[in-house]
Homo-oligomer: A and B are copies of this chain.
Amino acid sequence: MEPVNLKRLAQELKLSVATVSRALNNSSSTSPATKARVVAMASKLKYEPNPHASSLRRHTSKTIGVILPEVANPFFSLVVNGIEEVARDQNYHVLLYLTHDNYEREVAITRLLVGGRIDGVLMSVASASQDFTHLDLLRERNIPTVFFDRVYDGLHTAQVTTDNCDSSYAATGHLIDNGCRTIAHLAVSNSLYIGRARTRGYAAALHDNRIPFDDELVRYAQPSQRQDVAMIQGLLQRRPDIDGIFASVESLAMSSYEACQNLGLSIVTAIKIIAFSNLEIATFLSPPLTTITNQRTLWAKPPPGYCLTQSWKTRRFQPATAWN
């Protein structure tokens, strides 16, 4: 079985490979007649160009790499959906890599991508990352990079993020307005800009309401969900005065639900929970979870240059809960 490539088409049509190639890329200097013959034969033999040959020659792959912590998470699911959709519309391909918040994995993946496999990178940094030198390689090799959500502010590139500090301030304030006085903050990482921003908003809200900042109340995500639950249970047992939880990611909210259930603590009555989340079915949770939702924003056109910070709008307090 002969392969279907340009050479094959050329033989079949008694033309040169170059002419066939030009005809298919509807270059200007090809006669309409042969162009028609070529496309007819191409569709007859179901010709599909070999992308590796083309990428090698053109130095572009029409492929973008997407590096995420995980995909089993409503927020990142939405992100992947959006990325794939836009990519497909532009005839781009999406290579997906998951770090599972593992630093070594992130480094290994980044290294893989600098060989020319992709034309650009979309990335949400792993929360376990402390050292970001591996990301500098992306700029050294001139690979356009956009950070989103969990951004790395060290590299001077485009980034897409929410107004984390502001939203966290509002979320914490919302708990305070509803009577909470001892509010735990469950954070992802303090080496990431996003983590620091959310903690900053939390602290600012406490300060403006004359509530002392208590270091013991700020806890960080563990490597596994199981450990998260244990950590939260421990915290709630050590500090029975806690009457509010501000979770900076959805999974920590769910772990809080589980911890409260295990301890027999009534959510809403005893402890109110608010979280950054994109869970569509938050209303059907028992009790409904108050969420801060990252709204999807569409870029009408690419940003001018690569050093712009675009932020998501966040819609606050979605949906209505039992206590607000």
Query: Which A41-85 residues have C-beta < 8 A from chain B?
Result: 46, 48-53, 55-56, 61, 63, 70-74, 77-78, 80-81, 84-85
Q: Is the CB of A287 within 8 A of B286?
A: yes
Q: Which residues of B contact A281 (CB under 8 A)?
A: 254, 257, 285
Q: Is the CB of A50 within 8 A of B95?
A: no
Q: Which residues of B contact A280 (CB under 8 A)?
A: 254
Q: Given the interface contacts A71-B81, A285-B285, A286-B285, does A52 sit within 8 Å of B49 by beta carbon?
A: no
Q: Given the interface contacts A112-B48, A115-B49, does A81 sit within 8 Å of B56 by beta carbon?
A: no
Q: Given the interface contacts A77-B77, A284-B257, A285-B285, does A117 sit within 8 Å of B72 by beta carbon?
A: no
Q: Which residues of B contact A116 (CB under 8 A)?
A: 48, 50-52
Q: Which residues of B contact A140 (CB under 8 A)?
A: 46
- Of chain B, the residue at the smallest CB distance from A72 is B77
**Distance of A46 from chain B, by nearest CB (Å):** 7
**Of residues A61, A78, A93, which shows the largest number of chain B Cβ atoms within 10 Å of its Cβ?**
A93
**Distance of A119 from chain B, by nearest CB (Å):** 12
Q: Which residues of A contact B (CB under 8 A)?
A: 46, 48-53, 55-56, 61, 63, 70-74, 77-78, 80-81, 84-85, 88, 93-98, 105, 109, 111-112, 114-117, 137, 140, 254, 257-258, 280-281, 284-288
